[in-house]
Chain A
């Protein structure tokens, strides 16, 4: 069975500092991994995805994620956090059979000025 885990319920960082939101995965076969962000009262917004190729994936709003096969991780990163980055972040794995996404529990990112 495919699954993802986000070990941190909440991550707190100061504005201007680098941020990391952790995600580990368990899949059979090739992993297709995604990050989505959810702002209050808004739908999920796509940030980035890893399909194949470079282990460092660049996405929207200055975010990037590093795919690490040996550690089965796909951590989300940003070099310098903004207060406006405060939101709920979800890691997900794609099921190639139907295209459905299997989400982690989510991590709340709080960026303080």
Chain B
């Protein structure tokens, strides 16, 4: 596709339920980032992949959060036993060729997760 695609766009989960959020980056983009954007806040970094390698997961808020990118393209962010504080918009971004300052990150529309 032409841009970064995320699905689903909206997800309502009951507290304690597991969810999986998908990101299709721009074809050929090496770097992939996940961010969490709480209501009224700026996006906060969660994790970063270079191809299939997860090089930085320092922003994941707890061990309930898990991300993977097994073939170096599509990525999935999984949240286990969701809590109300997990309610946020989850943004995915990709860039090519890497992480250099001259590369521009392209963002998807995000998945709005509401935990009830």
Contacts and interface: CB of A to CB of B under 8 A. Distances in A.
Q: Does B bind A?
A: yes
Contacts of A32: 101
Interface string A83-113: 0000000101010111111111110000000
Interface stretch (A13-21, A40-48, A63-71): A40-48
A98 B101 contact: no
A51 interface: yes
Nearest to A104: B42
Nearest to B100: A99
Interface residues of B, number: 31
Contacts of A46: 104-106
Contacts, number: 65
Interface of A: 32, 36, 41-46, 49, 51, 90, 92, 94, 96-106
A100 B42 CA distance: 13
Contacts of B55: 98
A102 B98 CA distance: 17
Contacts of A44: 43, 91, 93, 107
Given A43-B107, A43-B110, A44-B91, A96 B101 contact: yes
B66 interface: no
Interface string B46-58: 0010000001100
Nearest to B45: A100
Interface in B47-73: 48, 55-56, 59
